[in-house]
Structure 1
Amino acid sequence: MPITDTMRAVIARGYGGPEVLELVQVPIPVPGPGQLLIRVHAATVNPVDLVTRSGALADAGLMTPRASTGIGWDVAGVVAAVGVGETDVASPFALGQNVIGMRDLLDRDLGTYAEYVVLDACAVALNPGLDAIAAATLPLNGLTALQSLDLLDLTAGDTLLVTGAAGAVGGFAVELAAARGLRVLAQASASDEAFLRAAGAEWTVPRDAPDLGAAVRALIPGGAHGALDAAGLGMRAVAAVRTRGAYVTVTGGAPPIPLRGIRVHQQWISADGPALARLATAGLTPRIADTVALHHAADAHRRVERGGLRGRVVLTP
C-alpha cells in the first residue's frame, strides 16, 4: 500500500485553456470490489484531454459539466492495491505487477494525470515487459484502432484506406490491419511515407490530394473495400470506398450519410483489458514525442495544441 495517504494530481478547474490545469494534493483513492489501485509511472497526453479541458465535451453533452474534472485516459504503472469485497471476483492481478490500463469514464474527479489511479480490473492488462512510457501510448489509440477494424469487419486480402495514417491511431491501424492480411493504402504526407511502408502500407496517397476518392481509385479500381477515417475527413473518405463497402470514423459529430449502400460506423472507444493484453504483445511501434514531468502538464497541452508532433507527449509523475 502507499506510504502516505495523499498524492499529487492534475485536474481542470473549470474549463478553458491550459491555464485551468491545476496541480493539487488529494487523498489517494481507495479501490473497491473489482478495482485496482495503480501507481502511475506514465500517462499519455491525448487530444481528447484537450477537448475535455476546454469544455467542448461538456458543451456537446458527452459529459456533465463539472467545477473540476480529472484529466487523462492512458496509464502504465504498478498495482499498489487490489480492491476486495463480497461482490468481488478473484482478481488475476497481484501487488507489484506491471500493468497497462485505460479510463473511459469522462466525468470523474481524477484521471490518470496523477501519482495513483483506480481502474476497474476489466480495463487493465498485464504489461509483458514494455517500457512504461511506451506502454502508456497503447491503450486509447491502440484500442481505438483495434475496435475500428473490428467494426469494419474486412477479410484478409481486402483493401483498406487509412486517413491520418501518420497519427497515433492511424499508425497503429496500419500495423494492425497489415497483420490481419489487409492491403493498406495510407493517406499521409510524403515525409511519413517511409514509416508507413515499414508499418505495412502497400500504397500511400498524398495528405493534400485535392480529390481523395479519385486518388484512391487510381490505385485501387472501384475504390477500397473499407476506410478507417482517423483524420475525420467524412464524405471525402467515403468517396474513396467502393459501393457496399464499409467506413468508420473515430471523430465526433454527425457521421457521413451512408451513400451507395456503404456501412457507416462511428467508433466510440471502450475499455477492454483482454484486448489491451493482445495489443501489448502485438509488437506495435510506439512513437513518443517527449516525456514531461507531471507538474508541467499545462506546458504539455500547449505543445500538443501547437501541433506538428509525431508521437505522443507522456507525463511521468
Structure 2
Amino acid sequence: MRAITVRSYGGPRQAQVVETEVPVPGPGEVRVRNQAVAVHPADTAVRSGLLGPLLGEPPFRLGWDTAGTVDALGAGVAGFAVGDRVLGLSHWFATRNGTHADFAVLPADRLAPAPDGLPATVAAALPLNGLAALQGVDLTGLTGGDTLVVTGAAGSLGHLAVQFALARGLRVLAVAGPHDREELTSLGAEFVERGEHLAAALRRVAPAGADAVLDAAGIGAPLSAALRDGGRFVAVRPPAAPEPERGIEVVVLNVVPDAAALAELAAMAADGRLDVRIDSVHPFEAAADAHARLDGGGTRGAVVLAL
C-alpha cells in the first residue's frame, strides 16, 4: 500500500509517498480503507523537524485522521461490519500510528459511524479539528454571556470552535483576515481583524477584557493583554502557551479521542447543523503540495488528501 512517510526532516517534499505492507488488525482493532485524510499543522511540524528534539530521528508515518470504509475486523470487534463508513482519530503523538496511507488500523473504540450523506473529504476534516475545537471550548469553562476570543477563526479548528461557542450562548470575538468578515459575522460572531496590535483591537470591543482566549492560530503571549485579570488562556500549540500573569490560567489543549462525540459531530455535519470548512483537496500522491499549502499560511478550512 501507499503511505506518506518522512525519512528526513525538511521542506514539503520530505512528505514522501512510499510503498509498504498492508497492516493487519489485531484483537479489538479495525482496518479502514481510507477515502480521505486531513493534513494538519501537527503533521508539518513533524515533517519540518520543529519537533525533532522531542521525537528523535525519522522515519515517521504521518496522519491523525481516518475517513473511509471498514475493510477488515480484528478478533472481538462488535458494532462494525466490513463496508461500514467510518471516521476516526489516532492520537499521533501518543501512538505514532500514522493514518496517511491507503489503509489505517485503529482500535474500534476510536472510530465512529459516518452518515451516508457525509462526504469523505468532510468526514476527514472532523476527527482532530472537530474534537479539538469542542474540547477547547470546554476547557475555557465559560457559560452563556461570557466573552471568548477565538484566533484563527477562519481555519478549520477555529471555525468549528466559533460555532460550538456560539451554540453555548457565548459572546465570540472571532479573529481572522478581512476576507472572512462576512462569513464569521453571518455565524453570529463579532469580527476582529488580525494584525500587529491585536490585543488593543480586542480591548476596544471588550474594554473589560475577554473572559477566555482559544488561541487556534498560535499567537501566544501578545494575546494575554486582551484577557481580564483571572481569565483563561487555552493554547492549541504548546510552544505558543504564554507565561501566566495577572492571575490568568494557562491551559494547553491535548485532544482526547472520543468516539461518541465524534459520532455526534458527524451527524451534525451531515444534516447541516455544523459547517465544516474545506480549504483545498489534493490527490494523495500530491502530499507535498498539501504540506506546502499549510506552510504558506492563511488556510481557510481543512487541507485534505483524497485517495
Q: Same fold (TM over 0.5)?
A: yes
Change (3 A) 1:173 1:108: closer
SS of 2:293 mapped into structure 1: helix
SS of 2:208 mapped into structure 1: coil
> Of the candidates 236, 250, 273, which is equivalent to residue 236 of structure 2?
250
> Of the candidates 103, 106, 125, which is equivalent to residue 112 of structure 2?
125
1:76-133 Cα offsets, whole Å, 9 max, x none, are 101111211xxx4x53222211111111134877622211000122221111231111
Distance 1:234 1:120 in 2: 34
Letter in 1 for 2:92: L
SS of 1:197 mapped into structure 2: helix
1:204-227 Cα offsets, whole Å, 9 max, x none, are 2121151x3332232223111111
Structure 2 counterpart of 1:58: 52
Runs (4 or more) in structure 1 with deviation over 3 Å come to: 106-110
The runs of 5 or more residues in structure 2 that have no matched partner are none
Change (3 A) 1:120 1:196: same
Structure 1 counterpart of 2:263: 277
Identical pairs, percent: 46
Letter in 2 for 1:234: G
> Of the candidates 164, 175, 179, which is equivalent to residue 187 of structure 1?
175
> Of the candidates 263, 275, 286, which is equivalent to residue 276 of structure 2?
286
Cα drift, residue 58 of structure 1: 2.4
SS of 2:238 mapped into structure 1: coil
Structure 2 counterpart of 1:69: 60
Please say if residues 11 and 110 of structure 1, whose CA atoms lie closer than 8 Å, have aligned partners that are also in contact.
Answer: no
* Higher normalized helix content (fraction of residues): 2
Letter in 1 for 2:245: L
Please say if residues 38 and 80 of structure 1, whose CA atoms lie closer than 8 Å, have aligned partners that are also in contact.
Answer: yes
Cα drift, residue 197 of structure 1: 1.3
Letter in 2 for 1:149: V
Structure 2 counterpart of 1:222: 208
Say whether residues 1:93 and 2:83 are aligned partners. Answer: no
1:20-50 Cα offsets, whole Å, 9 max, x none, are 2332222211111221100100011111111
User: What CA RMSD, in Å, does the superposition of the two structures yield over aligned residues?
Assistant: 1.9
Letter in 2 for 1:192: D
Distance 1:35 1:122 in 2: 8
1:186-240 Cα offsets, whole Å, 9 max, x none, are 1112211111112331x12121151x33322322231111111112222222211
Change (3 A) 1:120 1:199: farther
Cα drift, residue 289 of structure 1: 2.6
Change (3 A) 1:254 1:314: closer
Alignment of structure 1 residues 15-164 onto 2, 5 Å: 15-59=9-53, 61=54, 63-66=55-58, 68-84=59-75, 88=76, 91-106=78-93, 111-129=98-116, 130-164=118-152
1:145-200 Cα offsets, whole Å, 9 max, x none, are 11111111111121111112111111111011001111101111221111111233
* Bigger shift: residues 232-241 or 167-176: 232-241
Please say if residues 219 and 240 of structure 2, whose CA atoms lie closer than 8 Å, have aligned partners that are also in contact.
Answer: no
State the aligned residue count.
302
Please say if residues 164 and 229 of structure 1, whose CA atoms lie closer than 8 Å, have aligned partners that are also in contact.
Answer: yes
Letter in 1 for 2:306: T
Distance 1:158 1:311 in 2: 26
Distance 2:210 2:267 in 1: 29
Change (3 A) 1:109 1:13: farther
Change (3 A) 1:151 1:125: same
Letter in 2 for 1:298: A
Structure 2 counterpart of 1:241: 227
Letter in 2 for 1:147: Q
* Bigger shift: residues 113-122 or 304-313: 304-313
SS of 1:56 mapped into structure 2: coil
TM-score, length basis structure 2: 0.92
